[in-house]
Structure 1
Amino acid sequence: MRFVSDLWRILRADKGALVGGVIVAIYCLVAIFGPVFVKVSNDQDANNAYLPPSWTHPLGTDSLGQGVMSQIIVGARPIMIVGVLAAIITIFIGVLLGLLSGYAGGLTDSVIMRITDVFLTVPGLPLIIVLAAVIHTTNPFILACILSITAWAGLARAIRSQALSLRSSDFVEAAKLQGVSMGNMVGRQLLPNVGPYVAIHFLLAITGAIYAEVGLFLLGVAPIAGTNWGIMINLAMSQGALYTTDSAFYLFSPMAAIVILQVAFVFFSRALDSVFNPRLRVQ
């Protein structure tokens, strides 16, 4: 409860963080409930193609005369699902290997760090593009695994550094004297102490995964199926959005949705950082 009260106090003091938190909450609600109440029509009407914003279609229409707003709402869920899954996988692998490496030391530390170094030196984006093109799947979990294939490495090294500093602390030494197993030591003693850093990194990992996911659909290496923001941008570009103003709203609406979400995540993560680091709090 203290965390919640501290967070609320920070949000009230930092209006930017409050706005960011509200926007993130709205996006989550739209992703969860939007497709339940809003449907993308299958009707095609070329006479209504690329209409400007109106009461009927607040963000205009696409080349098939379908509302852009409904596509933005329905397309939020697949984007958010993959982004959150990729962040969870990234956090799980990075934290697990980082804590194990830092606490175990010796040969275990050396092996894990050499593997981590390999993934840190591999060009992440080209590897993701190649894997997505070869596997060519729309499965959210597989896409999340592809997006997180190298993202965990930097986190693992950072967590290892913290684990090394905690390994010689008094509470860890006391737990060793009590015969606490390595699993309990890592899970109950070390993990809670790196929790704040992990929470902030989790939000930033979501933003990175969303950017990468949209990039895959924009480049066309992921299958164009269903509706999401990346597919919308891909279709708008393929229809000549850069050379005509007719499809401007179809192109820039999903781009604006992505940018607003990313900025909101950054502002909200700043609030979390202030909660976990009192010296950063707004006076």
Structure 2
Amino acid sequence: MIKDMLKLFITNRKALLGVIILSIFIFIAVFAPLIAPYHPKQSSDQEGKFQLRAAPSSKHLLGTSHAGYDIFSRLIYGTRLSLMVGIVTGVITTFIALTLGLLGGYYGGVIDDIISFINNIFLVIPSLPLIIVIASYITIRGVWPIIFVLSFTGWAWGTRVIRSQVLTVREREFVKVAEVLGEKPLVIVFREILPNIISLVMATFFTSTIAAVIGEATLEFIGLGNISAVTWGTMLYWAQNNAALLYNAWWWFLPPGLFIGLLGTSFALMNFAIDEISNPKIRKR
């Protein structure tokens, strides 16, 4: 079944476009030193110091910042951390949601009651204010604290959806047959239930990754991250702090905003494709 899902995923146009866009970002992140003309914190070369707030030119494709940094180089290098935060947070969040969803949905009883109670609390509390409050109390600034905050606050929705699907799959005949044959619970969960909810797990990962990319940029933008790091979020932070709109310096904020939007679009396209693949009625349309 998983092989069939992967085959359908590859042949789906939306999924293919999403994979192509994501592959481009991964290529940029891996080969950033070869693509970027300068180091992200380099403000001079053999010809002397870079001009401050320079407009886009042949030497600086996206101009320079208030400190004389080449914005195109910072955009390329910023892909590394921004992409890492999104994917790592997506993996952690999906793992937590999958674990809790399987435990609560299959075992039920007291375990399900406890998980559902905690899950409902996280669902009721607005996520963005919660993220900001937790991040503001963390004294260590950097990428990993942001990953921790986003992972800690982002698992509830996925847990609720996965749990509800597990409750449905648990009542199907092949699961009941496995239980009658004396299969161990873990074997039933990973061999019978998990393959049948793999599309939902993938959708949870894509959704969590999109939220993480936007969440990281938001925290960095309001100064709750490491402002000395080179990410798309810190680029927006410095653009806002140095009045980019006042100087009409669109090259300070438009490129990182566009990259955030494109990365989010790639995951959204793959998420839409998962919906089409898992729902034959949508696929037929």
Q: Deviation at 1:171?
A: 1.1
Return the alpha-carbon distance in structure 1 between the equivalents of residues 4 and 113 of structure 2. Answer: 39
Inter-CA distance 99–2: structure 2 relative to 1 (3 Å threshold): closer
| Alignment correspondent of 2:168 | 165
Inter-CA distance 30–137: structure 2 relative to 1 (3 Å threshold): farther
Q: RMSD across aligned C-alpha pairs, in angstroms?
A: 2.1
Among 58, 62, 68, which residue is 1:59 paired with? 62
| Alignment correspondent of 2:85 | 82
Instruction: Answer whether contact 2:90 2:208 (CA < 8 A) is retained.
Output: yes
Inter-CA distance 179–282: structure 2 relative to 1 (3 Å threshold): closer
| Alignment correspondent of 2:241 | 238
1:176 and 2:174 aligned: no
**Structure 2 gap ranges (5+):** none
Percent identity, please.
32
Counterpart AA for 1:91: T
Return the alpha-carbon distance in structure 1 between the equivalents of residues 41 and 167 of structure 2. Answer: 56
| Alignment correspondent of 2:42 | 42
Return the alpha-carbon distance in structure 2 between the equivalents of residues 132 and 244 of structure 1. Answer: 31
| Alignment correspondent of 1:27 | 25
Counterpart AA for 2:88: L
Instruction: Answer whether contact 1:162 1:194 (CA < 8 A) is retained.
Output: yes
Return the alpha-carbon distance in structure 2 between the equivalents of residues 167 and 139 of structure 1. Answer: 42
**Structure 1 gap ranges (5+):** none
Instruction: Answer whether contact 1:100 1:186 (CA < 8 A) is retained.
Output: no
TM-score by length of 1: 0.90
Inter-CA distance 235–139: structure 2 relative to 1 (3 Å threshold): closer
Q: What SS does the corresponding residue of 2:219 show, helix, strand or coil? A: helix
Inter-CA distance 47–32: structure 2 relative to 1 (3 Å threshold): closer
Instruction: Answer whether contact 2:42 2:70 (CA < 8 A) is retained.
Output: no
Return the alpha-carbon distance in structure 2 between the equivalents of residues 9 and 158 of structure 1. Answer: 26
Instruction: Answer whether contact 2:141 2:224 (CA < 8 A) is retained.
Output: no
Counterpart AA for 1:135: I
Return the alpha-carbon distance in structure 1 between the equivalents of residues 152 and 41 of structure 2. Answer: 36
Instruction: Answer whether contact 2:35 2:76 (CA < 8 A) is retained.
Output: no
Counterpart AA for 2:25: Y
Q: Deviation at 1:2?
A: 3.9
| Alignment correspondent of 2:151 | 148
| Alignment correspondent of 2:266 | 264
Return the alpha-carbon distance in structure 1 between the equivalents of residues 8 and 104 of structure 2. Answer: 33
Q: How many residues align?
A: 278
1:185 and 2:183 aligned: no
Q: What SS does the corresponding residue of 2:153 show, helix, strand or coil? A: coil
Spell out the pairing of 1:179-258 with structure 2 (5 A cutoff).
179-245=182-248, 247-258=249-260
Deviations 1:169-209 (A, max 9, x none): 11111111222222222222211111101112211211111
Q: Deviation at 1:136?
A: 3.4
Counterpart AA for 2:260: I
Deviations 1:34-64 (A, max 9, x none): 1465332422577622222222222121112
TM-score by length of 2: 0.89
Spell out the pairing of 1:99-110 with structure 2 (5 A cutoff).
99-110=102-113
Inter-CA distance 61–24: structure 2 relative to 1 (3 Å threshold): same
Counterpart AA for 1:180: E
Deviations 1:146-178 (A, max 9, x none): 102221111111111111111121111111122
